[in-house]
Every structure is written in C-alpha cells, then in structure tokens.
Structure 1
Amino acid sequence: MLIDWSAPWFGPVADAGRTVQAAQAQGLSLPEALNRHAAGPLIAVSQSDLPEGVAYEAFIAATGRVPTRENPHDLFNGLIWHRFPASKRQLNRLQAQAIAADGVGAVRGPLRDAITLFDENAALLRAPEPLWRALLARDWPALFVERRRAWAQARLVLFGHALLEKLAQPYKSITAHVLALPVPESLGDDLAAWDAWLAERLDASRLRAKPFTPLPVLGVPGWWAANADPAFYADRAVFRPPRTA
C-alpha cells in the first residue's frame, strides 16, 4: 500500500514508517524490517510462528515475540510497539491475564473487548480545558469552529493501529476513541513521557469502564483541507450529537 507519511496523523510514526517500507522495498520481510529499523521491546516474527490453537496475546506474553503478517495493519501495529513500548506491553499483560483467568471463549468478554478497542482505535489528547469540555459534550461547533484557534495549543496523537491503517486511505467518518483522560501539559511533546504516563494508567478497572469519547479525526483543524469550511461539520452522520440530545 502506498502511504502518504507526510499526513499529519502519521507524524509520530512517519520516520520509522518510511524507513521500514524502504527496507521492505529492498527485500526484507516486514518482521525483519521492523526489527532492524523500528525495534520495539519485543521481537517481530512471522505469523507462521504462532502455533495453531494458541491465542495471539498469550503467545506474545509467553515468548516476547509478536506474530506479524505482511500487511499494513501489522505494519502500523509494529510502529506503535516501537513508539509506545511500555503501553503496548501493559495492554498485552492485561490481555494475557484475562486469557489465563477466563480462557479463550466464543466472545472476548467486557475487559478484553475494551483492551482491544483501545489497542485498535484509541487516541490521546493534550488540549486546553475548553476543548476538553466541548469534546466530552460532543459540541462540535464549539470544538472545531468557535474554539478553532485553541487547537494551536493542542496535540492529538493516534495510538490505535487499525485507526492508522484506515487513515492510509482517509474518509470523512473515521472516528477515534479518545481516552477521556487529558495528557498533562507538563509532558509537552515528549512521546516517551506520554508512553510512561499512559502505561501507568492502563489498568483493568479503568479499561473495563471504557473511558473513551468519540472524535472524527478529519475534523481536527489542519488535518484535512475541507474542514476549513464550517459547513464541513454540519454532517450529522459524522458529527453526531450526544445520544441524550
């Protein structure tokens, strides 16, 4: 897949992504390219290393190896392991603990569902308090039009690898699940500090409560040319009001 690494939503993983794809173009497999150019705390291995009947998350926890397919989904997963190693390790621990306690059934269960949702689709936000109020209220005009200038003091970082994969071919309705816990201003733009902060807050009780709020990411000022027109946000199929409205 041709990926435009210059897109703003790819910023935190763009340099590593370019390098890994260049290595693939030279003949390396995706696991080899990740291990050489975007190493995480664990070793990327071929999907064929995952034994039949063994849960993916349990295998990672037991072996320190991440089965990796040759596709964009697993490319982005590897890049997030590289960028947010402590948080990815913590999510894997929680998954493995849940599997050890409950086994692997026909359904994941509430905790594993919440962990998977975070892993696949989460985003982190550092923003002024008025933006947070508008986001939690799903007050899209306030968030994106009335307080548009305040986004200059904000930073949205995408964590979910499925979310990033969708944005390789962007469309208006792509929506992130923002962790409803503001990233402290004191962390600045140091994503290693964001990772340490996040890993300390990922626990079973918090995730089971699904503390997320939706954000259509192409509404972020500066992320999509069309949103310079306020009419962009009038699409109620994307910018939905609260359910209680």
Structure 2
Amino acid sequence: MNPAGAAQQPWLAPYAPRSARVLERAGQGAPVAETLSAEPVSIDLPAGPLRFVPGDSAPSGEAYEAFIFRTACVPTRDNLHDLFNGLVWLHFPQAKRRLNELQSTEIARAGIGATRGPLRDALTLFDENGAVLDAPPALWEALIARDWQQLFVTRREQWREARLLIFGHALLEKLCSPRKAATAHVLVAPGATRSIAAADAAIASALQPAHLALKPFTPLPVLGVPGWWAPNEAPAFYDDPRVFRQKRGAEAPLISPSA
C-alpha cells in the first residue's frame, strides 16, 4: 500500500488529519524528524520540550529510551516505523511519556542485559503492538473468551458501538501492507472514550508496573474488525485457526472493564 493512501484507512482515523499531512510530506522526501517537528507538540518531558531529531543523534552505547529521558529528543530515522512512532507521540504524549519514564527507570535500575525483563518486555509489547478497545460488555466478554464467532459474526452489529484505537507504532507500520495475521495486544484502559485527550490520559493511567509485569493483554486480530478489511465480510474469514486461535486453558483471564 502507498503510505500516502494509508492515511485513509480506518485504523489511522484517530490520527487524522495530522497523519495525512505527515505522510504526504514524508512521501515527498522530507526527513521524517523534520516532518514531525513541523507539527505542534503539546507536552514537555522531564528534560524539556519534546523534539524529534535525526536517528543517529544518540551517542553510541546509550540506550534509546534513556537518551529520550535525558534529552527530551526522540531519535527518528527516515522510515515508516519511526514516522508512526512520532505520530503516536504527537497524539498520545502522556502515554508515551509514561512509557518512556518506566523504561528509563527500569534501565537505570537493572541496566541493559541479554533480556529486558518482564516489565520492559510488557512496555515494549504495548508500545509496538498495543491497542485499547471501547466496546459493549458483550464484545469484551467474547474477546476475553476468544470466541471469535460471537465477537465478529453473531454480534457483528454491535461493533457500530465500539472503537478500537491502535496505539502501537509497529502495528501501524504493518497495516500499511495489511496481512490477515496482524494482531494487536489489547490493554484495559478505563475511560478511553472517543476523545483523544481522554484516551491519552486513560492509557497513561493504566500503565502501572505491577500490572504490566503480568502482561495483562489479550490478542485481537485487527483485520477481523468489521469495516476494517473487505475480506472479513465473508463469515468463513474467521474459520482460520492460525489467526483466530482458541484460548489456552492455562492463560490467566483478562479483567473486563465492566468488572
């Protein structure tokens, strides 16, 4: 898919109209850091106003998240991955600031080793592939149970009352070339309503270390969402067990927002 055309896709609706401007300028060859810097920024980090800088700005040996925390500068390469990361920073600055603070605090505590550890793993998973869902209780119950027929076929009309917000920038990048297996990891964030500002505050509030270390996410194949991809109009679309997997008995249940 042409990146400029991606701005018209439903998963980028929360990022409009800024996504259209940024993707158009980047498509014309403007450096991504420069393109993002042309947009208004609405938050300061502990080190000062948020800035987007070229991807090679961090000194060798300093962790990416630690550099952002120390300088308030986000190293930004000229690719879609970093472009979408910047778009998420611009739209959800409180949540991204919270992620950065938790990552940098954990790096300061434990250093950089062969593995990230459970908290940093969870933070990275949500940062890259996370989403939040505002939906009627019946849809939540079906999602938690991974009852895909209930979720997407039997209760299909109820998706008119739902809103799935893609937060993860790697997932946004993947959706530029949609594949059936593209999966979000959904986090319960009470209060994530149709307002971007409310969603930002709700996500930031939900990012609690003790909870995140348990990886409290549930997978959602996003191209199964009604209206998001034409092939899912056929009920047989959801019969693919490689994508729409059953819940394993040993998995801990996700707490529903209605609980």
TM-score range, shorter chain: over 0.9
Hey, what does 2:222 align to over in structure 1?
A: 217
Consecutive unaligned residues in structure 2, runs of 5 or more: 44-49, 251-259
Q: How many pairs align?
A: 242
Secondary structure at the aligned position of 1:66 is classed as strand
State whether structure 2 residue 10 is matched by structure 1 residue 5: no
Misfit runs of 4+, over 2 Å: 21-28, 37-41
Consecutive unaligned residues in structure 1, runs of 5 or more: none
Hey, what does 2:201 align to over in structure 1?
A: 196
Q: Which residue identity is paired with 1:101?
A: R
Secondary structure at the aligned position of 2:53 is classed as strand
Secondary structure at the aligned position of 1:37 is classed as coil
CA–CA distance in structure 2, aligned partners of residues 81 and 176 of structure 1: 18
Q: Which residue identity is paired with 1:20?
A: V
Q: Report if the CA contact (8 A) 2:189-2:203 is conserved.
A: no
CA–CA distance in structure 1, aligned partners of residues 233 and 13 of structure 2: 21
State whether structure 2 residue 61 is matched by structure 1 residue 61: no
Secondary structure at the aligned position of 1:48 is classed as coil
Hey, what does 1:33 align to over in structure 2?
A: 35
- Within the candidate set 105, 113, 122, 2:113 is matched to 105
Q: Report if the CA contact (8 A) 1:128-1:153 is conserved.
A: yes
- C-alpha displacement of 1:197: 1.5
Hey, what does 2:26 align to over in structure 1?
A: 24
- C-alpha displacement of 1:47: 1.2
CA–CA distance in structure 2, aligned partners of residues 115 and 24 of structure 1: 28
Q: Report if the CA contact (8 A) 2:94-2:201 is conserved.
A: yes
Matches within 5 A, 1:48-197: 48-179=56-187, 181=188, 183-184=190-191, 188-197=193-202
Q: Report if the CA contact (8 A) 1:90-1:202 is conserved.
A: yes
CA–CA distance in structure 1, aligned partners of residues 58 and 13 of structure 2: 31
- Superposed CA deviations along residues 96-136 of structure 1, whole A, max 9, x for unmatched, are 00000001111111111110001000010000000000000
Q: Which residue identity is paired with 1:139?
A: D
Larger helix proportion, structure 1 or 2?
A: 1
- C-alpha displacement of 1:5: 1.2
Q: Which residue identity is paired with 1:30?
A: V
- Superposed CA deviations along residues 143-184 of structure 1, whole A, max 9, x for unmatched, are 0011111111000000000000000000101111011x2543
CA–CA distance in structure 2, aligned partners of residues 66 and 113 of structure 1: 20
User: TM-score, normalization: structure 2?
Assistant: 0.89
| Superposition RMSD in Å | 1.6
Q: Report if the CA contact (8 A) 2:224-2:232 is conserved.
A: yes
Q: Report if the CA contact (8 A) 1:59-1:65 is conserved.
A: yes
CA–CA distance in structure 1, aligned partners of residues 7 and 27 of structure 2: 16
- Aligned-pair identity in percent equals 54
CA–CA distance in structure 2, aligned partners of residues 206 and 228 of structure 1: 36
- C-alpha displacement of 1:40: 5.7
- Within the candidate set 232, 235, 246, 1:241 is matched to 246
